[in-house]
Amino acid sequence: MGSTVLSLRIDGELLDRLRGHAAKRGMSVQDYVVRTLMRDDFDERFKTAVDETEKFYGLR
């Protein structure tokens, strides 16, 4: 898997908050944002899988 550059423009207050969250975890802001996006993506895929399973078994 390769990587691609994504450039974001965010305000200073948000960047400061991200720096704080990342620092608490001993991470760079970039690593923190990427992990957060990956976690959110996993959560969405997991919810979809659960919903599909419930539909299959007639629980919904």
**Could you tell me if residue 56 is inside a domain?**
yes
- State how far the alpha carbon of 19 is from the alpha carbons of 2, 8, 54, in Å: 26, 15, 40
Question: Could you give the count of Cα atoms lying within 13 Å of 40 in the half-sphere of its Cβ?
Answer: 6
**Could you tell me if residue 45 is inside a domain?**
yes
**Could you tell me if residue 13 is inside a domain?**
no
**Could you tell me if residue 22 is inside a domain?**
no
What are the tens digits of pLDDT across the range 24-54? 999 999 999 999 988 888 888 888 888 898 8
The domain of 39 spans 30-60
pLDDT at 60: 64
**Could you tell me if residue 42 is inside a domain?**
yes
What are the tens digits of pLDDT across the range 5-26? 889 899 999 999 999 999 999 9
pLDDT at 39: 87
Q: 10 Å Cβ neighbour count for 32? A: 19
Give the residue from 6, 1, 2 showing the smallest Cα distance to 37: 6
**Could you tell me if residue 47 is inside a domain?**
yes
**Could you tell me if residue 7 is inside a domain?**
no
